[in-house]
Chains A and B, each alone.
Chain A
Amino acid sequence: MNPVYLRYELLRTFRNRRYVLFAILIPVALYFATAGPSRGESDLAGTGISAPLYFMVGLAAFGGMNAVVSIGGRIAAERSVGWTRQLRLTPLSTRGYFRAKVATAYALALVTLGVLYFSGSTLGVRLPAGEWLRMTGLILIGLVPFVALGIFLGHILTAESTGPAIGGITALFALLGGTWFPIQNGVMHDIAEALPSYWLVQASHVSLGGPGWTGLGWFVVAAWTVALGALAARAYRRDTQRI
Chain B
Amino acid sequence: MASLDSVETFVRTQREQIDASVEARGLVKTYRSGARIVRAVDGVDVSIARGETVALLGPNGAGKSTTIDLLLGLLEPDAGEASLFGGPPQEAVAAGRIGSMLQTGSLIRDLDVQELVEMMASVYPHPLCVEDTLRQARIEELADRRTQTLSGGETQRVRFALALVSDPDLLVLDEPTVGMDVEARRAFWTTMRQGAAHGRTVLFATHYMDEADTYADRAILMAHGKVVAAAPTTEIKGLVGTRTIRATLSDADDADLGALEGVLQMERHGDVVVLNCSDSDRAIRALLDHYPEARDIEIASAGLEDAFVLLTSDGNGAS
Contacts and interface: CB of A to CB of B under 8 A. Distances in A.
Interface string A79-96: 001110110111111001
Nearest to B165: A90
A16 interface: yes
B224 to A, nearest CB: 20
A191 interface: no
A82 B102 contact: yes
Interface in B76-122: 93-96, 98, 100, 102, 104-111, 115-116, 118-122
Interface string A5-27: 10011011101100000000000
Contact of A89 (B72, B116, B118): B72
Interface of A: 2, 4-5, 8-9, 11-13, 15-16, 78, 81-83, 85-86, 88-93, 96, 240-242
B244 interface: no
B267 to A, nearest CB: 44
Contacts of B105: 81-83, 85-86
7 A-B pairs with the lowest CB-CB distances in the bound complex, closest first: A82-B105, A4-B122, A12-B110, A81-B106, A8-B119, A92-B123, A15-B110
A9 B123 CA distance: 13
Contacts of B107: 81, 83
9 contacts: A8-B116, A8-B118, A9-B119, A12-B109, A12-B111, A86-B102, A89-B98, A89-B102, A91-B93
Contacts of A13: 110
Contacts of A82: 102, 104-106
Contact of B111 (A11, A240, A241): A11
Nearest to A8: B119
Interface in B117-151: 118-125
Interface residues of B, number: 32
Nearest to A241: B75
Given A90-B124, A90-B166, A91-B124, A85 B74 contact: yes
A78 B108 contact: yes
Contact of B93 (A5, A11, A89): A89
Contacts of A4: 118-119, 121-122
A22 to B, nearest CB: 15
Given A4-B118, A8-B118, A90 B123 contact: yes
| Among A82, A86, A240, A242, residue most surrounded by chain B Cβ atoms (within 10 Å) | A86
Contacts of A8: 111, 115-116, 118-119
A16 B166 CA distance: 28
Given A81-B108, A89-B74, A89-B98, 11 more contacts: A8-B115, A9-B119, A12-B108, A13-B110, A15-B110, A82-B105, A83-B105, A86-B100, A88-B74, A91-B95, A96-B123
